[in-house]
């Protein structure tokens, strides 16, 4: 997706969008091949959360994607919370990046990050994700809660930007 004046969506601009504008951007995106993200780490920016919730959680994060045979798995990486124009630096514990929230990428209903299949504490979370460009370099996602057969939308959206290759594809140590 490009904005007026033909510029790509940036984290700083995306953070100025209303929930309605984020919903329209999400509706205007398209599905992509999940294998296009395998082997990459994406910089993530939380969108649409109330400021109080952001203070208790995070604005910056990262998602790593790794292909295991015919399955793409992933995990989240905690990032130091500084300004959006600063580099995304992983939070470290004992010299290793702090990771959480393992998920499996499925295509049951478009591209979906399914935390229920990842086996972690975030198992009720489902993140549908769409591409805003043709190469899946910029993705927009939203978070849903799966409670039994009900899927409940949260106010949370997020922007993902392709950043760097996954260096260590071993499953992360859960924190």
Q: What is the DSSP letter of 173?
A: P
Query: Mean pLDDT, the chain, as a whole number?
Result: 87
Query: Torsion angle of alpha carbons 168, 171, 173, 175, nearest 10°?
Result: 110
Percent of the chain surpassing pLDDT 70: 90
pLDDT, tens digit, 9 for 90 and up, residues 33-82 = 999 999 999 999 999 877 777 677 789 999 999 999 999 999 999 999 99
- CATH number for the region 4-164 comes to 2.40.160
Q: CB-based burial of residue 116 (10 Å sphere; 0-12 exposed, 13-18 middle, 19+ buried)?
A: middle
Question: Domain limits of the chain?
Answer: 4-164
Residue 5 has pLDDT above 50, yes or no: no
Is the confidence at residue 97, as pLDDT, over 80?
yes
């Amino acid at each position: 997706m490009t904005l007026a004046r033909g510029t790509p969506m940036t984290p700083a601009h995306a953070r100025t969008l209303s929930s309605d504008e984020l919903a329209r951007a999400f509706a205007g995106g398209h599905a992509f091949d999940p294998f296009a993200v395998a082997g990459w780490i994406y910089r993530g920016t939380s969108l649409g959360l109330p400021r109080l919730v952001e203070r208790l959680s995070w604005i910056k994060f990262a998602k790593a994607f790794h292909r295991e045979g015919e399955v793409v798995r992933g995990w989240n990486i905690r990032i130091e919370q500084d300004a959006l124009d600063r580099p995304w630096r992983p939070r470290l514990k004992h010299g290793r990046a702090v990771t959480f929230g393992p998920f499996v990428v499925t295509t049951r209903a478009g591209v979906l990050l399914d935390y229920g299949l990842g086996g972690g504490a975030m198992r009720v979370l489902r993140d549908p994700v769409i591409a805003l460009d043709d190469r899946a370099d910029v993705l927009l996602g939203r978070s849903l809660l799966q409670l039994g057969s009900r899927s409940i939308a949260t106010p949370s959206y997020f922007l993902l930007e392709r950043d760097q290759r996954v260096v260590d594809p071993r499953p992360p140590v859960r924190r």
